Chain A
C-alpha cells in the first residue's frame, strides 16, 4: 500500500514535468491535437457520403455506425494518452541503449516507461469519441440504464488495457530483434478494421480480429452491446477476460524481456 502511494506521488511529479513541457510549446500541442482530430473527422465524413447512397449497411444504420466509430475512439484515445512512450521502446530505446536508464532506477520499469510521457495529441481522438457518443444519446439508438452505463465505462477501460497489452507485447519483442517498431505498427493498425462491423470482412480477417489480435472486442463487439439486446457476458464480459489475460501475457513477457536485456554499445 505504501508502495502504491509512492508510485502515485511519483506519477504526479513526472506528469507535472511533462505538462510544463507541453505548455511551453502550445502551438505544437494544438497542431498535434488538430491532426488527430481531423483524421477522425474524415472517417466520419466518409460514412456520411456513403449513406447518401444506401439506406443501411448490412442492417446497421448510419447513426449506429457513427456510435461504433466514436465508441472505438475512446479506449484508443485513453491508451494513446497514457502509454504512448511504449512506441519509443519499440522504435529506438532498446537499440540505442537508452533503455538503460530505466534499469538503473529503483522503480518499476513499466511504470517508468509510461510515466515519462503523456501524449496530448490523443485528446484529438478522445474529443471525436466523446462528441460522437454524446450526439448518439438523443437519437434513441442506445440502450440506457444503470447496468449499461456502468459497463460502458468498464468496457472503455478494458479496451484501453487491450490496446496497452498489445502494444507492450510487440514492444517487448525489441529486446530480441532490437527494433520492433514495424511489427508494432502492423499490429496497431489492425485496430482500424474494428471501426466497422467486422461481419463485412472475410472469415480469416474476422478470426484474427476475434482471437489473435482481439481488437474486435475493443470496439465492435462491445459497442454492439449498447445498440442491440445482447448478453453482457459474451460482449463486455469477454472483453474484460481477454483484457486481463492479454495483460498478464504481455506484462509477463515484458518482465522476461527485461531479464534478458543487454545494453547496446561496447
Chain B
C-alpha cells in the first residue's frame, strides 16, 4: 500500500506543478467557464420571475442560485478529463511506452487527475464556493451550510470524481477504434452536461426519465453531491445515494479493466 502511493503520488504532484506553470491561460479559461454559470443564473432569475414565486422542480429560487454555482464548483473538481490524454497517447503511439513500464496506466492517469482536481479545488473551487456562501448569507439571508452537509458533500464529490475518471477512461478506449475523438468528446460533454444535472436539475425531468437516470452513473457525478450540499437527502435516502456512488465506482472499475485487457490485445504500434 505504501509502495503504491510512493509510485503514483508523484503523478499528482507533477500535475499540480504543471498546472501552476500555465496559470495565465488557466485564469482566462476559468473566467470563460464561469460565463455559463452566469447565463444560467440570470436565466433562472428570469424563470423564477415568471412564476408566482414558489419552488419549481423542488427548489426555491435561493436554492437554485446555490445549485447553479455549486454545480460549477462540483463539475470543475469532478470532471477531470483523462480520455483526451488516452486518445493522444493512442494516436501518437506513446501508449506503448506505458505498457512496458512497471506501472498501471490507469492508475497513473487517475493520480494525474487527482492533481488537476486538487488544483481546481484550490483555484477556483474554493473562491467560488466562498463567494456562493457569502452571497447566500448576506444577500439572500440564508443560513450558512452546516458542517455535516459540507463533510458529506466533500465525501460524495470525491466518489463522483472516481466515477467520472473511471467512466472517462472507458470512454477514452474509443480512441483505439477511431482517431477523431473531438466530435465524440463534444457529444460526451453535451450528453453529460444534461444527464449529470449540470444544465438543469434532474428533478425537472418527467418522472419516467428520472426513473431511468436512477439506473445510470451520470446522476451520481454532479447531481448527487450538490443535492447533498443543499441538504435534500436525509437518513436512509442519504445512505442509499452514497452507496449507489460506491457501487458505480466498483462497476466502472471492473468495466475499465475488462476493456483495457481486450484492447491492448489488439494494439499494434508502428515504429520504434
Contact = CB atoms under 8 A, between A and B. Distances in A.
A35 B194 contact: no
Nearest to B36: A192
Given A31-B184, A55-B50, A38 B191 contact: yes
Interface string A41-65: 1100110011011111110000000
A33 B31 CA distance: 28
B215 interface: no
Contacts of B204: 49-50, 52-53
Given A35-B187, A42-B199, A54 B42 contact: no
A239 B117 CA distance: 43
B100 interface: no
A185 B189 CA distance: 18
A46 B205 CA distance: 10
A108 B220 CA distance: 53
Given A35-B182, A42-B194, A192-B36, A186 B47 contact: no
A197 B42 CA distance: 11
Interface string B13-37: 0000000000011001101100110
Given A28-B180, A49-B200, A193-B35, A39 B186 contact: yes
A27 interface: yes
A208 to B, nearest CB: 11
Contacts of B268: none
A193 to B, nearest CB: 6
Interface in B140-194: 178-180, 182-187, 189-191, 193-194
B51 interface: yes
Contacts of B191: 38, 42
Interface residues of A, number: 40
Contacts of B180: 25, 27-28, 31-32
B45 interface: yes
Contacts of B205: 49
A35 B185 contact: yes
Q: Which of B25, B28, B46, B178 has the largest count of A CB atoms less than 10 A from its CB? A: B46
Nearest to A199: B46
Contacts of B35: 186, 189-190, 192-193
Contacts of B46: 57-58, 197, 200
Tier of interface size on chain B: 35 or more
A222 to B, nearest CB: 20
Contact of A35 (B32, B49, B184): B184
A36 B47 CA distance: 26
B51 A35 contact: no
B183 A50 contact: no
B50 A33 contact: no
A260 to B, nearest CB: 22
Nearest to B177: A27
A183 interface: yes
A34 B56 CA distance: 32
B183 A121 contact: yes
A60 to B, nearest CB: 9
A196 B39 contact: yes
Contact of A182 (B25, B47, B51, B183): B25
A180 to B, nearest CB: 10
A1 interface: no
B131 interface: no
14 contacts: A28-B179, A32-B182, A32-B186, A33-B183, A35-B187, A38-B187, A38-B190, A185-B28, A185-B29, A186-B31, A189-B35, A193-B39, A200-B43, A200-B45
Given A38-B190, A183-B28, A186-B28, 12 more contacts: A27-B180, A30-B183, A38-B186, A38-B187, A39-B187, A41-B190, A46-B199, A52-B204, A52-B206, A53-B51, A182-B32, A205-B42
6 closest residue pairs by CB, A with B = A31-B183, A35-B186, A28-B180, A182-B28, A200-B46, A35-B183
